């Protein structure tokens, strides 16, 4: 089973509501669907999303990187799996989102060839999961409305986007919490928007109101390791690292420093399934639980992330895989079923993708 051809297709899907963080605003989900065909006619699907504000990769850079990777893996056997994955990662430096898309398609092909669903190939057995949903950064009235709508749709875990003004953020969280039922879990995400001092003041103010917060995600700049340690030493709210951990090496560095309580793994951010599994295994060694997140990719990439979560369910205990349900529709036929907060992996071989409308 040899790689014959790689083709790319740009998909654009309107979001139900704009996705807004302290770093960016997105009105249309734009992803790049990758299709690898083998000489015996098998098709593997991968996907990535250009996220300049986080990964530094644009649509043009991803397309160029995939072209370079294709030169190195064309004609190689997918059955020699370790060799072909090494070829993907050695083709060029960085470009993790492009590498992730290629990896997802290769894993899809490898599992299809062995006639097993991908999650089974990776060692998983769980098929049904629930995800939380993101409440975009907005004026407080709109955020309360969106949070109540999400709660009424059955979501009991909300990620509240913050980070533009920490004092205003304090009032946002107080008012959202007051409007919601007490059983709703609140995760907060500042997307690198605060200083360490601002974060401590914010968390102390929230704790003084006895508002239960499950965690605070990436409050300071991604390279501010000392800032994360400063916050952890002065507050009791668990810290989740996102942009601070791109690679397995990053994970070791931050875990050795005991700077955070949890790590957010994203396929686009780390370079694909193999690296995500490695980061999860590293976190297990340190006794640190993980979240499986996404970068506003479509159902192929997010579905692949769920297969990874199934394979490491003992360490990946939190899911933030809401991108497909933020969209008005999906062009993907087959694969993981996204039904509100519920997600279910099927038993088709590989990822189970049947095509793109």
Q: Are 48 and 126 members of one domain?
A: no
Residues 6+ apart with CB under 8 A from 189: 21, 134, 159, 160, 161, 162, 163, 216, 217, 218, 242
Query: What are 160's strand-pairing partners?
Result: 135, 188
CATH code of 11's domain: 3.30.390.10
Q: Are 83 and 215 members of one domain?
A: no
Predicted local distance difference test score (pLDDT) of residue 200? 98
Residues 6+ apart with CB under 8 A from 226: 196
Among the candidates 115, 133, 158, a domain finishes at 115
CB-CB neighbours of 36 under 10 Å: 25
Predicted local distance difference test score (pLDDT) of residue 79? 96
Predicted local distance difference test score (pLDDT) of residue 36? 98
Q: Are 94 and 236 members of one domain?
A: no
Q: Are 226 and 108 members of one domain?
A: no
Predicted local distance difference test score (pLDDT) of residue 228? 98
Count Cβ atoms within 10 A of the Cβ of residue 233 and give its class: 0-12 exposed, 13-18 middle, 19 or more buried: exposed
Predicted local distance difference test score (pLDDT) of residue 182? 66
CATH code of 173's domain: 3.20.20.120
Among the candidates 115, 146, 177, a domain finishes at 115
Q: Are 124 and 237 members of one domain?
A: yes
For residue 9, give both structure tokens: 């297709």
Q: Are 288 and 183 members of one domain?
A: yes
Q: Are 62 and 167 members of one domain?
A: no
| Dist. CA 108–CA 308, nearest whole Å | 12
Residue whose C-alpha is closest to residue 177's, from 153, 160, 199 = 160
Number of structural domains (the chain) is 2
| Dist. CA 23–CA 17, nearest whole Å | 17
**Which region, left, alpha or beta, applies to residue 2 given φ > 0 means left and ψ of -120 to 50 means alpha?**
beta
For residue 107, give both structure tokens: 């894993």
Q: pLDDT digit of tens for each residue in the chain (357 aa)?
A: 999 999 999 999 999 999 999 889 999 999 999 999 999 999 999 999 999 999 999 999 999 999 999 999 999 999 999 999 999 999 999 999 999 999 999 999 999 999 999 999 999 999 999 999 999 999 999 999 999 999 999 999 999 999 989 999 999 999 999 999 767 889 999 999 999 999 999 999 999 999 999 999 999 999 999 999 999 999 999 999 999 999 999 999 999 999 999 999 999 999 999 999 999 999 999 999 999 999 999 999 999 999 999 999 999 999 999 999 999 999 999 999 999 999 999 999 999 999 999
Q: Are 76 and 164 members of one domain?
A: no
Q: Are 43 and 144 members of one domain?
A: no
**253 annotated active-site:** no
| Dist. CA 267–CA 304, nearest whole Å | 9
Which of these is catalytic: 161, 187, 196, 275? 161
Q: Are 11 and 96 members of one domain?
A: yes
Tell me the residue range of the domain where 63 lies: 3-115
Among the candidates 61, 87, 115, a domain finishes at 115
| Dist. CA 344–CA 330, nearest whole Å | 16
Predicted local distance difference test score (pLDDT) of residue 181? 76
Which of these is catalytic: 187, 266, 269, 275? 266
**128 annotated active-site:** no
Q: What is the pLDDT of residues 37-67, one digit of tens each?
A: 999 999 999 999 999 999 999 999 999 999 9
Q: Are 98 and 150 members of one domain?
A: no
Query: What are 94's strand-pairing partners?
Result: none
Q: Are 124 and 101 members of one domain?
A: no
């Amino acid at each position: 089973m040899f790689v014959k051809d790689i083709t790319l297709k740009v998909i654009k899907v309107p979001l139900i509501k704009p996705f807004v963080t302290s770093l960016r605003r997105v009105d249309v989900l734009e992803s790049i669907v990758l299709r690898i065909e083998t000489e015996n006619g098998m098709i593997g699907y991968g996907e990535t999303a250009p996220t300049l504000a986080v990964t530094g990769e644009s649509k043009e850079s991803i397309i160029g990187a995939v072209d370079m990777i294709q030169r190195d893996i064309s004609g190689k056997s997918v059955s020699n799996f370790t060799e072909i994955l090494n070829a993907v990662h050695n083709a060029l430096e960085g470009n993790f989102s492009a590498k992730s898309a290629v990896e997802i398609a290769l894993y899809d092909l490898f599992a299809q060839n062995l006639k097993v669903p991908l999650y089974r190939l990776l060692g998983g057995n769980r098929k049904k999961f629930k995800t939380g949903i993101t409440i975009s950064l907005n004026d407080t009235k709109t955020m309360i409305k969106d949070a109540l709508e999400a709660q009424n749709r059955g979501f009991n875990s909300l990620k509240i986007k913050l980070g533009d003004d920490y004092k205003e953020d304090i009032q946002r969280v107080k008012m959202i919490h007051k409007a919601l039922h007490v059983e709703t879990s609140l995760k907060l995400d500042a997307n690198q928007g605060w200083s360490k001092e601002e974060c401590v003041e914010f968390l102390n103010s929230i704790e003084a109101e006895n508002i239960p917060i499950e965690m605070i995600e990436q409050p300071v700049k991604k390279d501010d390791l000392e800032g994360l340690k400063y916050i952890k030493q002065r507050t009791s709210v668990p810290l989740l690292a996102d942009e601070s951990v791109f690679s397995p090496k990053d994970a070791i560095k931050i875990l050795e420093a005991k700077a955070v309580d949890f790590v957010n793994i994203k396929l686009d951010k780390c370079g694909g399934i193999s690296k995500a599994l490695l980061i999860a295994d590293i976190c297990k060694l340190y006794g640190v639980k993980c979240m499986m997140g996404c970068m506003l990719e479509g159902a192929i990439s997010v579905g692949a992330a769920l297969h990874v979560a199934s394979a490491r369910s003992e360490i990946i205990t939190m899911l933030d895989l809401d991108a497909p349900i933020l969209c008005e529709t999906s062009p993907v036929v087959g694969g993981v079923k996204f039904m509100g907060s519920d997600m279910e992996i099927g038993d088709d071989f590989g990822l189970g993708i049947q095509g793109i409308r």
